[in-house]
A and B are shown apart, each in its own frame.
Chain A
Amino acid sequence: MAVGLVLDPTAKRADDIAHAGPDAGSLVGKRVGFRVDRMWRAWDWISELWAEKFREAGAEVVFWRSAGRSGDEGERCEREYKAFIESIDVAVVGLANCGSCTGWTVRDAITAANAGLPTTAIATANFETFAHEIAARGGRSGLRVHVLPYPLNEQLKDDVLPIGEAHFDGVLRTMGASLTAREKAA
């Protein structure tokens, strides 16, 4: 059997940032930005719930909603998102709950993380591994990903809100965030 050399048909980027990026620290007095979308009402409900808790702790919370990512609409989104991440101190980016929306969630999270922001992507359990793979392909294998249960969007609001409550401490841990002023003072 003849043995020889064959050329590798694959291509991958060589660089990677394996660390998670900076902790969010104390959220008191910080401007927290939620990236939401037009697909997942469950993410709207949970992000509003978490936003209210952040506000109660003294953070300012703003939202940006992703839309079409091609053509004129895509360019508008790109401009808006760039301005959005320049205007915030902490990014919470979701929701990775399907194939393409995980791709875009992670891509937007990487953009925020590459801008130096403490950044956490939010995924549902079925798309957790995928989110990490996409993050690694995008050059940030250490991207923070907080995982919500799946299926999520198929549930009623009354069932989704307790899930958001139950995950609040967890998302704070993933973000490296706290609601006290201690870190800020430090």
Chain B
Amino acid sequence: MTVELIRPGAHRAAPVLKPLVSRDCGPEGCEIDWLASRRHEAELDIESFTRFAGEQGWGDGLPLVPPTDARVRTFLSLNDRYPDEVIGALPGGVSCTVEKIVINAVMAGAPPESLELLIAMVASIADPDFELYGVNATTAPVYPAFVVNGPVRHQLDIPMSYGCLGGVPGISASTGRAIRLIMRNVAGQTTGGTSQTTFGSPGRIAGVVTGEWEEKSPWAPLGERRGVSGNAVTSFGTMGTMNVIDTTSHSARDFLEMVGKSYAYVGCNNFSGAVPFGEALIALNPICAEIVGREMPDIADVQEVLWKFASVDADYLNKQHRDQLEGQDRIRADGRVYAAPEPKDMLVFVAGGLGGLHAACFHTFGTSLSQTKPVASVTVAEHAQAAE
């Protein structure tokens, strides 16, 4: 039997943090115009601009902040990045520069202090192993979910407790929306055009941007376990969020059995014959995590149990599906099909409110592999004033 295992691309160079270089493009203006984007004449009140942006195909249907020179320069001046710095290559061979990130961030209402997080988020989805080419185009509803680690969670007030996956006012919504606008305007994802998504998803407006509640986790932070200590962001191409309730279990194994079995529904991409391999992302609430952590202080044990239960008996599948998976060597010697190739591919983090009771599952698109990137220190200049 040859199961296709997930191994990160060996040729990928380790990410290098960009040194802080310049504040040339302050609100007072620059001697050289660093901003290379085309200018369009538009009415600058929000209603008119939103209508204009909609006509241009730039928007998501919600009100947009006009990205004037002054706003974009102010945003840049509060950070330490040159606008022409290329952060990654997006589908179609398009370079995503800091300037394009800032313009879309301004439109989304994201604050200047979010720039380093946004840059790390873009770098993560631009990694070839994230496979944005497929994520952008697919009939699936997939969108990137982001888990943030490190002190930056507190500096940016990223939710990691109640409602952390959506609904908390603040920076999660605006940064998530900025990424979605970048995917539209720079990566070229237009629904019904370059995106064939059959149903889409509410997550395609503002995505998911959550912190890991590291202080409540019995295990090392997710980013650290994936090789990036401190400030880090992990992207995962998710088909949505799926809630798991368990008001009954007492032991670690019982909780994990419930979560693992719930994860394993046969219509998810993890079990599709069209998907050679996929990871799984699971959020355990702090109460459950504490119980599990007492019995399983090694996260590898948690992953092992989740992996074991996130599987189905091959006989549960109808013949056509079973034959296809058998042809791909995905039915193991125990007669089961597993959601992920190995226990290490079950990614776990701790977040959520203290009411406990629930876990959250994120199902993979497939070969879009999660990426963890460092987030540079947030050093918003305090002296700069808003230009408008």
For B27-70 the 0/1 string (1 means CB < 8 A from A) is 00000000101111111110011000000101000000011110
CB contacts (< 8 Å) of B6 on chain A: these are 71-73
Q: Are A7 and B276 in contact, CB atoms less than 8 angstroms apart?
A: no
User: Across the interface, do A70 and B369 meet the contact criterion of CB distance under 8 Å?
Assistant: yes
In the complex, what distance in Å separates the CA atom of A74 from the CA atom of B58? 32
B138 lies within 8 A of A75 (CB): no
Mask, B188-209, CB within 8 Å of A = 1, is 1000011111000000000000
Residues of chain A contacted by B129 (CB below 8 angstroms): 70-71, 74
Residues of B within 8 A of A130 (CB): 137, 193-194, 196
Contacts of B133 in A (CB 8 A): 69, 100, 103-104, 107
A76 CA to B90 CA in the complex, in Å?
Answer: 21
Shortest Cβ distance from B251 into chain A, in angstroms? 35
How many angstroms between the C-alpha atoms of A127 and B138 in the bound complex? 11
Number of interface residues of A (CB under 8 A): 38
Report if A58 contacts B (CB, 8 A). no
* A2-B44, A133-B194 given; A100·B9 CB < 8 A: no
A83 interface hit (Cβ, 8 Å)? no
The 8 Å CB contact of A102, one of B37, B49, B92, B196, is B196
Partner of B4, one of A73, A98, A99, A107: A73
Chain B residues bordering chain A, tally (CB within 8 A): 71
Name the interface residues of A60-85: CB closer than 8 Å to any CB of B: 67-75
Chain A 130-158 interface residues, beta-carbon cutoff 8 Å to B? 130, 133-134, 137-139
Residues of chain B at the chain A interface (Cβ within 8 Å): 4-11, 35, 37-45, 48-49, 56, 58, 66-69, 72, 90-97, 99-100, 103-104, 107, 128-131, 133-140, 181, 185-186, 188, 193-197, 273-274, 276-277, 328, 365-369
A sample of 24 inter-chain contacts (CB < 8 A) reads A3-B41, A5-B40, A5-B41, A7-B35, A7-B103, A8-B40, A8-B103, A9-B100, A9-B181, A9-B185, A10-B58, A11-B186, A13-B94, A69-B133, A69-B367, A70-B131, A71-B129, A72-B10, A75-B9, A103-B91, A103-B133, A103-B136, A107-B133, A137-B91
